[in-house]
Amino acid sequence: MLGLLAARQAGLDDPARLRRAERTRRVLSLELNKDRDVERIHGSGINTLDIEPVEGRYMLSGGSDGVIVLYDLENLSREPSYTCKALFSVGRSHPDVHRFSVETVQWYPHDTGMFTSSSFDKTLKIWDTNTLQPADIFHFEEIVYSHHMSPVATKHCLIAVGTKSPKVQLCDLKSGSSSHILQGHRQEVLAVSWSPRHEYVLATGSADGRVKLWDVRRASGCLSTLDQHNGEKSKASSEAANTAHNGRVNGLCYTSDGLHLLTIGTDDRMRLWNSSTGENTLVNYGKVCNESRKGLKFAISYACNPEFAFVPYRSTIAVYTVFTGELITMLRGHYSTVNCCVFQPHFQ
């Protein structure tokens, strides 16, 4: 550390290198925080978390009881031991509460005045943070597994939605319509994720074992279907051709630069793909236990060297290096199944 500081001071080193080294050191020394807790509001399982990307201060959680809670992660008291307080919640008594399990919550990427939630009650709700009233509600014919807004889009306001139907729905915040549909999957769509690099590129994972990349401006839609065998048909039977996993694909996560896509399936495998060529990079993560019947929310670190993937693994969180597949550590502390995790990029 002193060497890095001296080199930076002398102008011999890139300032970002010190930041990367310190972030990486912090991730490698992660352990359960004995001084910090989060106020317990949910009476049942928590399915989804999201930290707003502007300040990294406010966190949303969605539970299987339909409740949504907003927490302030900032320690304003400066006391060494503290509990992150819940600022407010959309509880069971709220007139617009979700009737069934909340599967995904996400902040509007550009400010904290708005957030979105989707649920097994077949709705996607757009919330005004200040009034806690829905500004808009999209209704679907099937239960909703996952939704995502692009973190980089400037020319569109589309929310991608994965439901029990094989069609991927696109909801337009500007017009309030959900007319746009992407067709190509054969079974329910469990995970959707916009590229953090190209605002029109969307990745979707389905129970049919396929991961598709789409350009939403194209009429045909699908750019490519990821193939775990990289097109070597001789090794794969025709049935297994063009599948990303030999089971349901229930998790997707781009690396922060958008150059790679990490997918996870119920075949207990995790795969890393080159997002521009669609090639399987063949990184071996070993057996990645995945018993989730719905979407699995995992996270990738930001601006570390190397980058790390945090994957819920029964009652622990497995930490892998993204590009070598090495299992670094298991984070223990929960007593039951972990459903989701989220990475705080500002404080690791």
One-character DSSP codes across 145-211: EEEEE-SS-SS--EEEEEESSSSEEEEETTT----EEE---SS-EEEEEE-SS-TTEEEEEETTS-E
- In this prediction, residue 138 carries a pLDDT of 95
Q: Is the peptide bond before 306 cis (omega within 30 degrees of 0)?
A: yes
Asked whether 33 and 47 are in contact (CB, 8 A), the reply is no
27 SS3 class:
helix
Digit-coded pLDDT (tens) for 178-230? 878 999 999 999 999 999 999 999 999 999 999 999 999 887 778 999 999 99
116 SS3 class:
strand
Domain 140-294 indexed as CATH 2.130.10.10:
yes
Residues in contact with 282: Cβ distance below 8 Å, sequence separation at least 6, in sequence order: none
Residue 213 to residue 223: CA distance in whole angstroms: 5
- In this prediction, residue 1 carries a pLDDT of 67
Q: Return contacts of 23-31, CB within 8 angstroms, 24+ apart.
A: 23/301, 23/302, 23/303, 23/304, 23/348, 24/304, 24/305, 24/306, 26/348, 27/301, 27/304, 27/308, 27/319, 27/348, 28/328, 28/329, 30/319, 30/329, 30/331, 30/348, 31/331
Residue 27 reports pLDDT greater than 80:
yes
- In this prediction, residue 17 carries a pLDDT of 82
- In this prediction, residue 240 carries a pLDDT of 60
Digit-coded pLDDT (tens) for 6-21? 776 777 777 778 888 8
Residue 196 to residue 202: CA distance in whole angstroms: 10
- In this prediction, residue 233 carries a pLDDT of 66
CA angle 142, 165, 299 (to 5 degrees): 95
